[in-house]
Amino acid sequence: MNQELNDGLPAREAALTLIDAALSRRGGIDEAASAHGFRFLEPRERAFARALAMAALRRLGPIDRALSAKLQREPPPRVRNLLRLGVVQAFYLEVPAFAAVATTVEMAGINKTSRPFKGLVNAVLRGLLRDGPPSDDPEHLAPPWLISRWSSAWGPETARLVASEIANEPATDLSLKDPALAESWAERLEGEVLPGGTLRLARKGDVAAWPGFEEGGWWVQDAAAAIPARLLNVKAGETAVDLCAAPGGKSLQLAAAGAIVTAVDRSAARLERLTDNFRRMALTAEVVVADAGAWDDSRTFDAVLLDAPCSATGTFRRHPDVLWAARPGDVASLAAVQARLLDAAADKTKPGGRLVYCVCSLEPEEGEAQVEAFLARRPDMRLDPIASGEAGAPTASLTARGTLRLLPHQLDGGQDGFFAARFVRQG
């Protein structure tokens, strides 16, 4: 193997680690990416490793179908992951076919588990090169149980449209500290201003090096994720609490709008990132480390935001690993947590105050079903219907009930999957 190809082996080995972590435990890819061995790589190698892993995860279903057709029996996990990387390099990244095969075979040979499979790796990859790229049929891009759930919820055609977004690399969306400067920032960053004020960029790379980062002009936040905080319509001087606040994008929105913000989260480590972001943006918030469902504080607030823990299936554009780490039982267990937090959030809402509940989930049990159960047990809360186009939400996302079911394909260029509902406390 020539030296140029050999130099890329550490990045490819890191990509193997990322894929293994993503498929073995929820949140594993982020933990692996922050581990010492990954950080030791040069920035270019880190970027390549992550690009390899993410491309493999976005097309995991079609890749595995193509591989399984070539394998008579299941190889060790390392060999399966090596084959996945070989396919990704050959068909989805700008790696010459000979290099995709050569580097993968070389990697098989440097580990005792995969060494006996060098010949298999070589034969399978060369066979796939003759066959051409795996099919990108949307129904194969997500686990079958999720496709089935989505088909039941919205019909097969909508399920296919949702799943078709899995393979697409998303743009970078920014929320602006001062929305009045949207056109100015769009010119500086060569972006497009979306309905609601989100700035969408095609540029890639280290966001910390982009104009406006150090001066606190903006923060990274998906277009759909920016909608729930806007639905609260906070005014300057109003009190607002963001429950389950970390990493803090929605808290920043409330503070930038002039609200007096309290940010609550049970994770002290995640709140450190929130605090860093507030410092960079020159905004202030009271930060509280507590379980929002058991927070012992007698205050009530004008505006309450609950972005509840959920299956996170709507975040697959930026976190495709969630599709493969999620299990059917997750939805039911998390729904019980959401109900408890919703009641706690209602108790923190002043009479006449607003509560917005949201989840980055595509599952009805975590969205629509929560709303109906909540209204049935809380006569002091009424649903406040959202208007068409309000907060920059696509018209197609508005439900007949006046809630938002934000599906990834409903915005040109994609958006995260979210559910959001707004309530007013009576009395």
- Choosing from 244, 310, 358, 360, the catalytic residue is 360
Cα 227 to chain centroid, rounded: 15
Distance CA 309, CA 113 (A): 38
Tell me which amino acid residue 170 is: P
Half-sphere exposure in the Cβ direction for 223 (13 Å, CA): 28
244 is catalytic: no
Give 236's contacts (C-beta < 8 A, 6+ positions apart).
257, 258, 259
- For the chain, the three-class secondary structure string (H helix, E strand, C coil) is CCHHHHCCHHHHHHHHHHHHHHHHCCCHHHHHHCCHHHHCCCHHHHHHHHHHHHHHHHCHHHHHHHHHHHCCCCCCHHHHHHHHHHHHHHHCCCCCHHHHHHHHHHHHHCCCCCHHHHHHHHHHHHHHHHHCCCCCCHHHCCCHHHHHHHHHHHCHHHHHHHHHCCCCCCCEEEEECCHHHHHHHHHHHCEEECCCCCEEECCCCCHHHCCCCCCCCEEECCCCCCHHHHCCCCCCCCEEEEECCCCCHHHHHHHHCCCEEEEEECCHHHHHHHHHHHHHHCCCCEEEECCHHHCCCCCCEEEEEEECCCCCHHHCCCCCHHHHHCCHHHHHHHHHHHHHHHHHHHHCEEEEEEEEEEECCCCHHHCHHHHHHHHHHCCCEEECCCCCCHHHCCHHHECCCCCEEECHHHCCCCCCCEEEEEEEECC
| Rounded Cα gap, residues 34 and 40, in angstroms | 10
In this structure, the strands spanning 301-307 and 349-359 are parallel
Residues with a known catalytic role: 360
